[in-house]
Homo-oligomer: A and B are copies of this chain.
């Protein structure tokens, strides 16, 4: 590693380079998300990667705080790289509430950083794609956010997915019925335990809950309630309704959830997304206050959720006294793509690619003109970048060109070109340019 010697090119652990095939698949899915979001009137915004540490710290879990990349900048400011898009968005809404039109529908796609222990599918830099509606605590806003996620997931080419819908307030009603008298902090601990159901199973979750003071004894009944499902897989909502009877809040949420589910099933009809009511969906984070959801790939449920979120009614509370209820969620782009790779659902582009090969030094002028005309017709087209024709042909083949157009002295004189189809091997010579374009 001497100053003028060769050094080993190395990357930080947990950080990735994206090679062309991967990067283009990422961009393709981000484009899909942007397209569906725009079609539904969601507006794109952006916020900085760096914020005052004060803005970010203490907003996720204790674990998140430890993972934050935090440092002093050159002006001795205490700054940090964002670890999600939600906390900066709260700052954004607090700052710009005077100019935003509420209910505000927003899309934000951006990188976030967490110094996590790296493991399969966990990176220290990853991309979040967040859709939110701020300023409306209504069934309609719930449906609208979820319906766009349904359109995105069914368009992504990731095969069948199952979106499991729960509701924090129904769950709170159940917990209140089975473990009465819990403090809000204890209730959150129960929710955090329930969030681990899929990972560690009901027996261990019961142990966790029974260890929470005040919750002892209620765990088994609570878990039994949550295990009740109809034949179609949905949680037994009528049974739960009987348990929470008299709890107006839980009863209202049951009605709302039924309605959301009914309309979403209509929207999902004919699409590859299956909706399932699953009241055990708790989501770890404390701030959810209504519907919550998680989505798994049907062929790879063990991967975990690729799209999740829920209703929260306190987004910008640190920054404004204005009440701004929200509903939102996030597509986990990295996990989704990891899943698609594992399932071999990512195929290289089969798109047409024309390669202009130039046989003689005097034909570059003509070759570039032809190339430009192909691009004007929206045809993907490349050209030789080295003088030797044999090397140009070899390169065309390596980059996956589907057609080679060759020009040289005689083509320049006759204003023609030769066209070779690399798949069939057929070559046609002396084509007029009009004929050439019509064949591509």
- B-binding residues in A (CB < 8 A): 1, 6-12, 15-20, 23-24, 26-27, 34, 36, 38-41, 43-52, 54-55, 66-67, 69, 71-75, 77, 79, 81, 91-92, 94-96, 99, 101, 103, 105-106, 111, 113, 115, 124-125, 133, 136, 138-141, 143-144, 147, 151, 259, 262-263, 266-267, 316, 318-321, 353, 358, 364-365, 368-369, 372, 375, 378-387, 395, 398-399
Contacts and interface: CB of A to CB of B under 8 A. Distances in A.
In the A-B complex, the 4 residue pairs with the smallest Cβ-Cβ separation, listed nearest first, are A71-B71, A18-B46, A20-B43, A41-B382
Contact of A101 (B26, B380, B395): B395
A368 B266 contact: yes
Contacts of A358: 140
Given A8-B319, A140-B364, A40 B384 contact: no
A121 to B, nearest CB: 17
Contact of A364 (B11, B47, B263): B263
A143 B46 contact: no
A272 to B, nearest CB: 15
5 contacts: A17-B96, A39-B378, A40-B380, A49-B111, A267-B368
A49 B49 contact: yes
Contacts of A136: 385-386
B365 A50 contact: no
A275 to B, nearest CB: 14
Contacts of A10: 52, 55, 91, 95
Contacts of A369: 263, 266-267
A320 to B, nearest CB: 7
B17 A44 contact: no
B101 A48 contact: no
Nearest to A401: B41
A358 to B, nearest CB: 8
A72 B125 CA distance: 16
